[in-house]
Structure 1
Amino acid sequence: MMVTRHEKLGIKQTLQKPWMDKTVQMMLAGLSVKEIRAELDEYLSTQKQSGGFGERGKKTYGMAISLLAAWYSPDVDLVNFRNDALKLARSMPITDWLPLHWAVISASYPFWFNVAKQTGRLLNLQDQITQPQIFNRLKEQYGDRETVARNSRYAVRSFVAWGVLKDSDTKGCYEKAASVGITDPNLATLMFESALMATLEGKGALGTLLSNPAFFPFQLPVITGDFISLCSSRIEVVRYGLDDELLKLSA
């Protein structure tokens, strides 16, 4: 039976942000998928997943190439979403690409989004959190499996590598880093869409999305459903109650 992206784990190693940056740079330079794969094959053979340089086996860096495909070769239904992310990247300095990477990896790997959600929920309750606390919440959704614990560990270490979580003075504990402010409503809309893509139902209340703990590294602007529908033809806005708005992916 084919595993959908909402069922798969897929975060099989720590993902470094410079690898994502390099992938997007190659796409903006007009390289083909085949050329990007070849470049990454050579580049990642010298990049340790913990950061820094050193020789790596093909099996381990091949997993990283698969993760980076979220940018260069996404699922068919994510191509237009990815294209919009690429347009934004073209107009932004590379130092501001982190939210784009977050959105693209969340849409392609909802497990990443769900690890972030549980991380954010815990950070709303306490200043320091641990891996077991995150895993205990995830196993309610994915089951008590070693692969879930391992993949969640790689996701959390990726959060640290990306600078959105910090290792605390207490070994095995993490703290939230400073939030990244987002002011561009087009970028915010893309992030909302990534949340819808990462959700099996493909829908969510706007108010809930604004405060979604999976966006714990960011400060999102308050924007209206009307504006979101103008920014993206792929998001439908449904009003219910007096002031509530539901966002859902267009069929």
Structure 2
Amino acid sequence: MNKRMNQIGFSQRVRLEWFEQTANLVMAGNDRTVVNETLQNLLQDKVSVGGQAERGNREKIITILLKTWMTPPKELESLRIAGLDLLKRIPRKNHMVVHWGMVSAVYPFWAGVAVQVGRLLRLQGTAAAAHVQRRVREQYGERETVHRAARRVLRSFLDWGVLQETDQKGIYKGSKEFPIDDADLIAWIVEASLHARPNPSSPLHDLLSGPSLFPFKIKTVHAETLAAASPRLDILRHGMDEDLVMLKEKGN
């Protein structure tokens, strides 16, 4: 898991509807070849139009889409299956929550950028791209790849509708928070958030209101509700009134 935490991986501007279409293809039972070919056709007039590079932006985007919903790291397979099950039954307006959680788990860099955006929005109501960039580079290193990837994640946030442009160039504001009150969905996004953290345990309050989930307003729930909704979460009473939520170890 530590290796995943230090990787960038998410280096393209990827639209929400492309994740939705990928998940739909997977849920329909298509194999990797069919999904890949369908995504190639979908993106051919949208990304790298006319490009012949072996690893152009289109191929990199498709790699991100496939790794998120078809071939995630082994430790995320249960999360993926549960996420697909949620997509089948929850209202379409809530699908973004599931895509956000799965991307965060597969690519913690996405969650890392979200943390910095969420903190700035909470502190001052806006987030400057330059400030986000500086904080992300402090964590991941002063590399051009980090700068470029952070910029594309921010553009993805705009595409997804969770950030909005302001009158000042490079200054963003948050959109209206999306409410989440489904207990199964809350348990799942908590699990996904734990997978995006170096330490797979956290106080419940920090998970429900953490800056990496800045686009969402998550209903307050009891720890026991989360444990009942997900067999992959464990709860530890930490002090008099604080519950620690953690990923259940394999075999338990």
User: TM bucket by the smaller chain?
Assistant: over 0.9
Kindly tell me: are residues 162 and 171 of structure 1, through their superposed partners in 2, closer, same or farther at Cα, counting changes over 3 Å? same
How many residues align? The count is 246
**Ranges in structure 1 where 5+ consecutive residues have no aligned partner:** none
1:60 aligned partner, one-letter code: N
Q: CA deviation at 1:3?
A: 8.2
Q: Whole-Å Cα distance in 1 between the matches of residues 47 and 37 of structure 2?
A: 18
- Asked if 1:210 corresponds to 2:193, the answer is no
From 58, 74, 98, the counterpart of 2:96? 98
1:142 is aligned to 140
2:170 is aligned to 172
1:35 is aligned to 34
Task: Note the alpha carbon deviations across 1:185-227, whole angstroms, 9 max, x for none.
Answer: 1111111111110111211110111110111000001111111
Q: Whole-Å Cα distance in 2 between the matches of residues 3 and 89 of structure 1?
A: 28
- Asked if 1:81 corresponds to 2:79, the answer is yes
Q: Whole-Å Cα distance in 2 between the matches of residues 215 and 81 of structure 1?
A: 17
2:235/2:244 contact within 8 Å kept: yes
Percent of pairs identical after alignment? 32
1:104/1:194 contact within 8 Å kept: yes
1:47/1:55 contact within 8 Å kept: no
Q: Whole-Å Cα distance in 1 between the matches of residues 206 and 132 of structure 2?
A: 21
1:11/1:112 contact within 8 Å kept: yes
- Asked if 1:109 corresponds to 2:71, the answer is no
Kindly tell me: are residues 222 and 55 of structure 1, through their superposed partners in 2, closer, same or farther at Cα, counting changes over 3 Å? farther
Q: Whole-Å Cα distance in 2 between the matches of residues 175 and 240 of structure 1?
A: 35
Kindly tell me: are residues 239 and 45 of structure 1, through their superposed partners in 2, closer, same or farther at Cα, counting changes over 3 Å? same
* Range moving further from structure 2, 140-149 or 197-206: 140-149
Q: Whole-Å Cα distance in 2 between the matches of residues 221 and 95 of structure 1?
A: 16
Q: Whole-Å Cα distance in 1 between the matches of residues 2 and 226 of structure 2?
A: 31
Matches of residues 114-193 of structure 1 in structure 2 within 5 Å?
A: 114-193=112-191
1:45/1:57 contact within 8 Å kept: no
Q: CA deviation at 1:57?
A: 4.9
Q: Whole-Å Cα distance in 2 between the matches of residues 83 and 191 of structure 1?
A: 13
Q: What CA RMSD, in Å, does the superposition of the two structures yield over aligned residues?
A: 1.7
1:47/1:56 contact within 8 Å kept: no
TM-score, normalised by the number of residues in structure 2: 0.93
Task: Note the alpha carbon deviations across 1:72-123, whole angstroms, 9 max, x for none.
Answer: 1111111110100000100124333100100000000000001001000000
**Ranges in structure 2 where 5+ consecutive residues have no aligned partner:** none
2:47/2:57 contact within 8 Å kept: no
- Asked if 1:71 corresponds to 2:80, the answer is no
Kindly tell me: are residues 100 and 55 of structure 1, through their superposed partners in 2, closer, same or farther at Cα, counting changes over 3 Å? farther
Q: Whole-Å Cα distance in 1 between the matches of residues 128 and 101 of structure 2?
A: 24
Q: CA deviation at 1:169?
A: 1.3
2:2/2:198 contact within 8 Å kept: no
2:201/2:247 contact within 8 Å kept: yes
2:180/2:216 contact within 8 Å kept: yes
Task: Note the alpha carbon deviations across 1:29-54, whole angstroms, 9 max, x for none.
Answer: 221222111211222222238xxxx5
1:14 is aligned to 13
Q: CA deviation at 1:56?
A: 5.0
1:62 is aligned to 59
Q: Whole-Å Cα distance in 2 between the matches of residues 36 and 94 of structure 1?
A: 21
* Range moving further from structure 2, 80-89 or 92-101: 92-101
1:217 aligned partner, one-letter code: P
TM-score, normalised by the number of residues in structure 1: 0.93
